[in-house]
Amino acid sequence: MGPAWRARRITPPQLLAVVFLIGLSLGTTLFMLPQSSADGVGLPFIDALFMATSALCVTGLVVVDPGSDLSRFGQVVLAGLIQIGGIGFMVIASFMAILLGKRITIRERIILKEALNHHSVDGIVPLVVTIIVSSLAVQFVGGVLLSLFFAGDMASDEALFRGFFHAISAYNNAGFDLFGNSLIGYRHHLGVQLTVLTLLITGGLGFFVLLNLIQERGVWRKLSLHSKLVLTTTLALIVVGSVLMFVGEYGGPAYAELTPFEQVMASVFNSSATRSAGMNTVPLPQLGQATQALFVVLMFIGSSPSSTGGGIKTITVATSYLMLVALFRGEREIQVYRRTIAKDLVVRAFVVIVLAATVVFVATFLLALFDRHDVFVLLFEVVSAFGTVGFSLGITAQLSTASKAILILVMSIGRLGPLTVFYALSQRRRPQPLHYPEENLMIG
């Protein structure tokens, strides 16, 4: 009766939240070990919890410098947590079970479906294998390239470790680095920037889009509507973000030491990384307020569904925009690429936006109560945490314990998804005994 009762009472979103908490506890414990810190003392509880949350949520916000304050063991723990958080607990656990010859039950397939945001359980096991193998392959190639690029600046063994660490961080859109200033030291190195840019865009597109591209050999007309919307929205955000950043920073201090070509590259790289990757090649505090405001919007949007990134997702933004266009044209249905988007998906999109905006506002309000910093700087920090980006204007380590706890919660919500957290906390749906008459409201 026990297992059957749990199967009825615990929903997949709730189980995902429980698994996340278990992983968070393990990561926090590891960071508190003396072997994890460079001074041999171990991180304090709140800092260990913050770093573990940031790693599992592939955020990149730090209260200690991973390159100087963590030991090699601590850096390996950090990379492992990033990998688990990026690909997903349930996906990795299922892959290990498949390797051991264990049968994946229908309940586990349902949980995987929820974790991957997939539409059905059909083919979920082969999909897990494909996700793991392809993800590791992409990161391996990126790690080799970055190791070769870093080899000119450091010993070969250090270049190898840093190359693969940053490949893992970039692909999983985590934003952690071992240099202490992200990739600013490589702002003139085209090879490093192109490699990292490829990794973060690949990881941010989502597993299903990549799989669809491979299966259909990149033929546009054969791609699913989901893939077309993700690719279109991603390209639009990269182009618009790059142009606006270039215009905003042209002649500014952040671009002072860059050639015209490097300025264009910096605009493309940093605006793309802003949507969840969290790696930068220019000092963020030197950016103009217009660019920083742009970054807040891009961080809030984030990457795509079933990807290694966070935010409200590109599909949410695309669906909401298409609905506004349809209303403007006086159309009753949302049609794009000769397909009609279901109305319940539009409702879900707006629910996600409302929940996300509520989380950001409440967290910013609370941080403003506990810490005396400029409210925009606090908003930047909160949106970065929610979008699992990792960008900061330099206040993370200075925040109070209460503010760090709030950011831990925001990072967790951002990674799990506001809808998943909402469903995990909400009561089971009950039938309504009565249906009252409808009445019009004045809106707008």
pLDDT over threshold 70, residue 251: yes
**What is the per-residue pLDDT across 201-222, written as a single tens digit (0 to 9) for each?**
998 888 888 888 888 888 888 9
Q: What does the alpha-carbon distance between residue 238 and residue 210 come to, in Å, rounded to a whole number?
A: 18
Predicted pLDDT of residue 345: 87
State the amino acid at position 18 in one-letter form: V
State the amino acid at position 322 in one-letter form: L
**What is the per-residue pLDDT across 376-421, written as a single tens digit (0 to 9) for each?**
999 999 999 999 998 999 899 899 999 999 999 999 888 877 776 6
pTM for the model stands at: 0.86
Residue listed under structure tokens 């799989």: 211
**What is the per-residue pLDDT across 92-139, written as a single tens digit (0 to 9) for each?**
666 666 666 666 666 666 656 655 555 555 666 677 778 888 889 999
**What is the per-residue pLDDT across 254-274, written as a single tens digit (0 to 9) for each?**
998 899 999 999 999 999 999
Mean pLDDT over all residues of the chain? 86
Residue listed under structure tokens 């950090």: 78
State the amino acid at position 334 in one-letter form: I
pLDDT over threshold 50, residue 3: no
Residue listed under structure tokens 């314990």: 401
Tell me the domain boundaries of the chain: 9-423
Angle between helices 106-116 and 89-99 (to 10 degrees): 140
Supply φ then ψ for residue 170, to 5 degrees: -70, -50
pLDDT band at 6; cut points 50, 70, 90: very low
Query: Residue 146's closest CA among 179, 99, 116?
Result: 179
Q: What is the DSSP letter of 284?
A: G
Report the share of the chain in percent with pLDDT over 90.
56
Provide the H-helix boundaries in 250-342. 260-273, 289-301, 314-329
Query: Residue 296's closest CA among 307, 311, 283?
Result: 311
**What is the per-residue pLDDT across 312-321, written as a single tens digit (0 to 9) for each?**
999 999 999 9
Residue 133 host element (H or E): helix 124-150
**What is the per-residue pLDDT across 165-207, written as a single tens digit (0 to 9) for each?**
999 999 999 989 999 999 999 999 999 999 999 999 998 888 8
Q: What does the alpha-carbon distance between residue 219 and residue 236 come to, in Å, rounded to a whole number?
A: 19
